[in-house]
Structure 1
Amino acid sequence: MSNMNSKIIDDVTTDIIDIKQGSDEFLIEEEFTKKMINSKFSNIPLRIKLGLDPTSPDIHIGHTIVFNKLRQLQNLGHNVIFLIGDFTSMIGDPSGRNSTRPSLTKEEIEKNANTYYEQASKLIDPSKTEIRYNSEWYKNLGASGIIELTSKYTIARILERDDFTKRFKNKLPISLHELIYPIIQGYDSVALKSDLEIGGTDQKFNLLVGRDLQKEFGQEPQCIITMPLLLGLDGIEKMSKSKNNYIGISELPDSMFGKIMSISDDLMWKYFDMLSSISSDEILKLKNQVLNGLNPKNAKIQLAHEIVCKFHSKILADRALENFENRFKYGILPNDISEIHVGKAPINIIKILKASGLTVSHTEANRNIEQGGVKIDGNKISDKSIILFKGEYIIQVGKRKIKKIILD
């Protein structure tokens, strides 16, 4: 073996170690090593794929775990394909769900998709990124093509999927369009001739279907990297746009900062591990400081400041910290409170809280008042029968939700 060949193999071995870091599962490492070596020898970059369905206008910070891996592969010289699933969004990914996902209209999908490229450009190098939409090939495939495609996979294989199995056993409905979703998504890898696909751990089944379909179409099967899922703000479910427990990467600095400050102390450390740029040694040092008396809030402020810096700037992160401290430490309200016209006065406070979106239901409104979590113009209230008349009111629920309510 020549010295040059030996160096290439050594470089690839080092790159593979770096690529594996932070991932949950790497399938199949030996195959990907061969792809990397061949890429080095031929000087042809690999095709790295990530697909997202635009089910809302926001890319959230949970996605950044995957995007950071894409950026790492871009830095190694490989081509990244960011696939926007404008066709698959109309079906709805059943991954990790115990009920059928609501369908979106074409107009909703187009509106959401329009924001994705701009947001993704904050996370990966747009000059080294190929943006594709899977409607490109599905609009030409037609009904006969889709029937032929579904003939390449069996119902038995589809029902091996864990979330389908659970729903079937619990006699929960599974729609036919959900059953074909993994096949439709898998065909994207065929259309794009993907060498490697990256996704969250909940996407493993779909990614494996892509690998199987590539074999059916005579292609070299893609390798797969699954990345761990970030828990949402509730600390229970994965961060998800559909569950509304997420932080969008384009959210205003104050909102982003406040949401990070709202997470539990236990969840904070998971966010440090998965989102922070500081080393594991520094995180361990910070944990020890908390164990020895440092207020966990101080550590959370450090995390919130870092995340706002990452998606905005240090100046805006400093301002968000100042606004946070003014609001919660000194009782000073921010200048940019959103306004909402609720309707004609007089109106009961319970109805106002629900109509303004400060609470999701009348029940939640009642509970917040009972627990002392509602303020009107800075004054805590306990009477659920309060009626407000024509005018403007600053109403606050908990520490983060605050709006100027206008009654006509």
Structure 2
Amino acid sequence: MQEIARGASEFIGEEYIASLVQRFYTTGERFIVKAGFDPTAPDLHLGHVVLLSKLATFQRYGGDVKFLIGDFTATIGDPSGKTQTRKQLTRDEVEQNAKTYKEQVFKVLDPAHTEVCFNSAWINALGIGGLVNLTAQFSVARMLERDDFTKRYKENLPISIIEFIYPLLQGYDSVALNCDIELGGNDQKFNLLVGRALQRSYGLDKEQSVLTVPLLEGLDGVQKMSKSLGNYIGVTENPNTMYAKIMSISDELMWRYYELLSQKSLEELQAMREGVRSGNLHPKSVKQNLAHEITARFHGAGAAEIAQIEFDQVFSRNQMPSNIPVVEFSTQDSGVWICKILQESGLCPSSSQARRDIQAGACKIDGQKVLDENLKLTQGEYVLQIGKRKFVKAIIL
């Protein structure tokens, strides 16, 4: 139970979880643990891995995981924490994103105790009559207990009826799967509790326990990890990039990543903390162990070793990376705008961010700092760099 509770934000029904684990050790009977993922983007990042790691913990102690891909609910969009109605995804977008999810989750989960489910299987079967019956199980007043809905209502911001439907459909997933435990981020608490309520309404002889996990801070150490914010570490990123990004986090944030992502035991983590406090361990070596562990999990030990050597070469000895991505641009009369190159090569998410990076002195060309945000490059080859870890070779034809 200490390992299950590790890094959790909140437990609801902890005694029931303990009884399920006890039953597993006594009789070998397994129990059902569910977590839902709406495939709103094609790739998972380490923020998602926090939840996957907790699912893997349950698998070790008797849990059979229902990895639920919300292929139906993703077409609505989860309103949790949102200040406005979300854009709905097309069916093609959902199916493509769901395919990549299935390819990535078994880097963490045990396939022998994982079933990948799609909630369209039972939601489509509900029909209009079933949907009307589902909406009858919850009141508008209960829906408005959600902080984000309350805030939007008071500020006269629109709330669509379909957003009220979303928590009900997520809760109905727990009915359809006969869940014992549901996991989610701490911003999902309301939706998870709806599942408990609906299990009662539909006559199940159980109320699922709920365990929430914190939202992992991104590379900036402030905002939650998000691809749109550019502060993420993707599980499909190449090993050199993954290793370098982990090494870039602060020493303080490192312990948070250890607690939520590492497979090291609580005793091992405590020993490392004490080693750093006593001066017997340097924080950099502890962080290297973390970067190696996570990189090896997704790319293998050999790739992690190479990434560690590459990092030491580039960042400790100020040498160029051994393998720089190459992009080509067709020249124009006056050359190619530096911000266009930075954006289209992937070094910056937008031209406005490229401007800010240049103004901050974070951009270099062939090792020389660039300060002119209006610079245009003519025919030739250039090595562009943003910060310490992002490189690309631009060939202007």
User: When the two structures are superposed, what TM-score results if normalisation uses the length of structure 1?
Assistant: 0.87
Letter in 1 for 2:247: M
Asked if structure 2 preserves the Cα contact closer than 8 Å seen for 1:286 and 1:299, the reply is no
**Deviations 1:195-253 (Å, cap 9, x if unpaired)?**
11112211111110011011110012211112232112222222234544322222211
Kindly tell me: are residues 349 and 135 of structure 1, through their superposed partners in 2, closer, same or farther at Cα, counting changes over 3 Å?
same
Aligned to 1:7: none
Asked if structure 2 preserves the Cα contact closer than 8 Å seen for 1:51 and 1:84, the reply is yes
Asked if structure 1 preserves the Cα contact closer than 8 Å seen for 2:230 and 2:349, the reply is no
The alpha carbon displacement at 1:40 in A equals 6.6
Match among 372, 376, 392 for residue 361 of structure 2? 372
Letter in 2 for 1:401: K
Distance 1:94 1:131 in 2: 24
1:235-246 correspondence runs (5 A): 235-246=221-232
Kindly tell me: are residues 172 and 287 of structure 1, through their superposed partners in 2, closer, same or farther at Cα, counting changes over 3 Å?
farther
Asked if structure 1 preserves the Cα contact closer than 8 Å seen for 2:276 and 2:282, the reply is no
Kindly tell me: are residues 33 and 275 of structure 1, through their superposed partners in 2, closer, same or farther at Cα, counting changes over 3 Å?
closer
**Deviations 1:66-114 (Å, cap 9, x if unpaired)?**
2233223222333221111111111111222233333221111111111
Asked if structure 1 preserves the Cα contact closer than 8 Å seen for 2:383 and 2:393, the reply is yes
Please say if 1:199 is aligned against 2:188: no
1:84-95 correspondence runs (5 A): 84-95=69-80
Asked if structure 1 preserves the Cα contact closer than 8 Å seen for 2:78 and 2:163, the reply is yes
Letter in 1 for 2:117: R
Q: Sequence identity of aligned pairs in percent?
A: 47
Please say if 1:53 is aligned against 2:38: yes
How many corresponding residue pairs? 391
Aligned to 1:323: 310
Distance 1:210 1:191 in 2: 10
Asked if structure 1 preserves the Cα contact closer than 8 Å seen for 2:21 and 2:62, the reply is no
The alpha carbon displacement at 1:315 in A equals 1.8
Aligned to 2:270: 281
Asked if structure 2 preserves the Cα contact closer than 8 Å seen for 1:26 and 1:224, the reply is yes
The alpha carbon displacement at 1:170 in A equals 3.5
Aligned to 2:162: 177
Distance 1:304 1:336 in 2: 20
Please say if 1:303 is aligned against 2:290: yes
Kindly tell me: are residues 295 and 39 of structure 1, through their superposed partners in 2, closer, same or farther at Cα, counting changes over 3 Å?
closer
Aligned to 1:74: 59
Match among 189, 207, 214 for residue 228 of structure 1? 214
Match among 235, 254, 262 for residue 249 of structure 1? 235
Q: 42-51 or 149-158, which moves further after superposition?
A: 42-51
Match among 381, 388, 396 for residue 392 of structure 1? 381
Match among 79, 83, 89 for residue 98 of structure 1? 83
**Deviations 1:147-185 (Å, cap 9, x if unpaired)?**
221121111111111222223333433332222211111
Distance 2:370 2:346 in 1: 18
Aligned to 1:218: 203
Distance 2:342 2:284 in 1: 28
Kindly tell me: are residues 166 and 298 of structure 1, through their superposed partners in 2, closer, same or farther at Cα, counting changes over 3 Å?
farther
**Deviations 1:105-148 (Å, cap 9, x if unpaired)?**
11111111112222111111101211110011122223332222
Asked if structure 1 preserves the Cα contact closer than 8 Å seen for 2:6 and 2:259, the reply is no
Aligned to 1:11: none
Aligned to 1:209: 194
Letter in 2 for 1:260: I
Letter in 1 for 2:171: G
Distance 1:70 1:362 in 2: 39
Kindly tell me: are residues 39 and 295 of structure 1, through their superposed partners in 2, closer, same or farther at Cα, counting changes over 3 Å?
closer
Distance 1:328 1:43 in 2: 50
Distance 2:46 2:380 in 1: 38
**Structure 2 unaligned spans of 5+:** none
